[in-house]
Amino acid sequence: MKVVILGCGRVGSTVGRMLDERGHAVTIIDRNEQQFKRLGERFRGETIRGVGIDEDVLRQAGLESADLFVAVTNGDNTNIMASQIAKEVFGVAHVITRIYDPVREQLYQGLGLDTYCPTTVQSQLIVDKIQERAAARPRP
Amino acid sequence: MYIIVVGGGKVGYYLTKTLVNEGYEVLLVEKNPEKVRIYSERFGEVCMQGDGAEARTLEEAGAARADVVIAVTGDDEDNLVICQMAKRKFGVGHTIARVNNPKNEEIFKRLGIDTTVSVTNIILSYIEQRLPDRELSHLVTLTHSDLAIVEARVTARSPYVDRPLGEVSLPRDVALSAIIRNGDLLIPGPDTRLEPGDDVIALTNRASEEELREALSR
């Protein structure tokens, strides 16, 4: 599968490395070249320095022939805009978008993006853990 | 009419100021608290601190009853999301987005923004529309030589008018390549006569450009 990832932070670089190890063709975009160090020396994919909301940069990353686009920069609006360009302009079949703001996440999920919200997921995880502890503790 | 402007840079500032003076009900939403303080001192309670891409900010700003939301921040991704939130979540009738990268204008339209404004594209189209009126316009500059392809409108005072081109002495290294007369293409020959109002396309040496312009459009 041909995968283009926008944002080479902790999540982007980890997803990139994992998919690369599994034999997928990975291209990763970041505006800061230093971030590519996170990929490690064994990474065989491509790296492109540029802004992800620029149609030309996305084209250069090979979005026209990509099967999957993942937007995980630390900016919600950048992820939202890049994802919509990927879907509407380049017709990428599967687009995954990270949105920290739960309200925005709900809205864009309703508009057809495959979104996920770390805020909601992590909060739920923490609350579940606390409740587990509370349930395990014997009542006085 | 109630108008919400998001982004208090130069465009947002002057837009808000003008709209207030025109008597509209306006609210300017700006992230930077310092700017909000200064603007509030200058034109009263028409400024609110907040992130216009946040639903809570737009709700507080009264987006639900706004007729127009105008996003004029310096970031295209923010302007897009502000307008989409306003439209999809609050049902705002008309959204206007400033577009910084001119390529995004088309994308914004496809993504449902009602009106887009790109200063770059406005200037570009102005230049392109004015092209035929200019005395001599560069159509192409040939990079590897000193030649250019230019276009000029023939005026009545041109010494080339009403004489067979075979008898006209053109500047050095100039070839008249085509004439456009009333929208029709004519390929000039020695017997062709230029008429006022003709558009002439010529291949010329850069050194002869000025002389050609002077002769055709005096």
- pLDDT value of residue B148: 80
Q: What is the pLDDT of residues A63-102, one digit of tens each?
A: 999 999 999 999 999 999 999 999 999 999 999 999 999 9
Portion of chain B with pLDDT greater than 90, in percent:
60
Asked whether residue B62 falls in the same domain as residue B35, the answer is yes
Here the CATH number for the domain that contains residue B163 is 3.30.70.1450
Q: What is the pLDDT of residues B2-23, one digit of tens each?
A: 999 999 999 999 999 999 999 9
Final residue of a domain: which of B104, B125, B146?
B125
Lookup: tokens for A118: 């770390």
Report the C-alpha gap between B82 and B89 in whole angstroms: 10
Span B67-94, mean pLDDT?
A: 97
Asked whether residue B26 falls in the same domain as residue B81, the answer is yes
Report the C-alpha gap between B161 and B151 in whole angstroms: 16
- pLDDT value of residue B143: 56
Task: Name the domain count of chain B.
Answer: 2
- pLDDT value of residue B122: 83
Inter-chain residue contact A85 with B107, CB threshold 8 Å: yes
- pLDDT value of residue B211: 86
Query: How many interface pairs between A and B have CB atoms less than 8 angstroms apart?
Result: 57
Q: Which residues, in sequence order, are CB contacts of B129 under 8 Å at separation 6+?
A: none
Residues of chain B with Cβ-Cβ distance to A82 below 8 Å are 77
Work out the pLDDT band at B137, boundaries 50, 70, 90: low
- pLDDT value of residue B147: 81
Asked whether residue B139 falls in the same domain as residue B121, the answer is no
Residues of chain B with Cβ-Cβ distance to A80 below 8 Å are 77, 80-81, 84
Report the C-alpha gap between A111 and B97 in whole angstroms: 19
- Average pLDDT over chain B reads 89
- Average pLDDT over chain A reads 95
Asked whether residue B170 falls in the same domain as residue B72, the answer is no
Domain segments of chain A as ranges: 2-136
Final residue of a domain: which of B99, B125, B151?
B125
pTM equals 0.73
Final residue of a domain: which of B125, B150, B176?
B125
Distance in Å, alpha carbon of A95 to nearest chain B alpha carbon: 16
Span B87-106, mean pLDDT?
A: 94
Q: For helices B76-90 and A102-110, what crossing angle results, to 10°?
A: 70
Portion of chain A with pLDDT greater than 70, in percent:
99
Asked whether residue B41 falls in the same domain as residue B65, the answer is yes
**Where in the sequence is the domain holding B210, given as residue range(s)?**
134-216
Asked whether the predicted pLDDT for residue B121 surpasses 80, the reply is yes
Class of domain A2-136: alpha beta
